[in-house]
Amino acid sequence: MCGFAGVLLNSNDTTFSNEYLQAIKEANNFINHRGPDEEGHYFDPSIALGFRRLSIIDIDGGQQPFSFNNERYWLVFNGEIYNYISLREQLQEKGYHFYTSSDTEVLATLFLEKGVNAFSELRGMFAIIIWDREEKKLYGARDSFGIKPFYYTENKHDLIFASEKKSISFLMQQEVVELQALQHYLSFQYVPDPMTLTKDVKKLEPGL
């Protein structure tokens, strides 16, 4: 199943305190059930990424966060790319070499080849984060049917994102009910995207 939790600082004037980094690690542990096989972290002055892995494809070579292009990019990815073998073959024909048999490396290589257009080539279920350390840009994508979860909240200090809302709530340290979402839930037993029952926490809409 797998899952991720992370924080992007919204200002170059702020830094991660040791206490905040420890809290992010704890937020990642909140989703241990999504990935009991392996834990991974990546920190730099702008971003902190945590990942929990359920090992299925390439047990030895599919660790995350996954770095590529000389560690310019860092990727965390929850899901499965069904057409990764055919994509891999297409990329090999273009001269790319692969060092693992994971769909994660195929995703990373496709991003190098096509940028954000890579996401439209994917067939499967996925929630993806790619951090460009050089340009300081964060890319997020979710499958077209919204099978894999992707939650986020943003304020003037940081952007918090995770596979489950509980990780975000832990880092926010407070929860306020979104009354409009509650009205939808009580009326229809459903909360429409991008809202959640927690104020200021949203779901990334499918296909974005």
Tell me what the mean pLDDT of segment 67-85 comes to: 96
Check residue 177 and give its pLDDT: 94
CATH node for 3-203: 3.60.20.10
> pLDDT tier at 207 (50, 70, 90 boundaries)?
confident
Check residue 58 and give its pLDDT: 57
Under DSSP, the state recorded for 92 is H
* Domain extent listing, the chain: 3-203
Tell me what the mean pLDDT of segment 87-110 comes to: 96
- Model confidence at 208: pLDDT above 70: no
CA dihedral 107, 130, 42, 197 (to 10 degrees): -120
Check residue 142 and give its pLDDT: 96
Check residue 173 and give its pLDDT: 84
Q: How far apart are CA 188 and CA 103, in angstroms?
A: 38
Tell me what the mean pLDDT of segment 60-72 comes to: 90
Q: What pLDDT, in 10s, does the model give residues 101-151?
A: 999 999 999 999 999 999 999 999 999 999 999 999 999 999 999 999 999
> pLDDT tier at 191 (50, 70, 90 boundaries)?
very high
> pLDDT tier at 57 (50, 70, 90 boundaries)?
low
- Model confidence at 83: pLDDT above 80: yes
- Model confidence at 170: pLDDT above 90: yes
Q: What pLDDT, in 10s, does the model give residues 24-55?
A: 999 999 999 998 888 999 999 999 999 998 87
Residue 85, helix vs strand vs coil: helix
Tell me what the mean pLDDT of segment 72-99 comes to: 97
**Which amino acid appears at position 64 of this protein?**
Q
Tell me what the mean pLDDT of segment 158-164 comes to: 97
Residue 152, helix vs strand vs coil: strand
Catalytic residues: 2
> pLDDT tier at 59 (50, 70, 90 boundaries)?
low
Pick 174 or 122 by higher pLDDT.
Answer: 122
Nearest alpha carbon to residue 77 among 48, 36, 46, 49: 49
Q: How far apart are CA 161 and CA 153, in angstroms?
A: 7
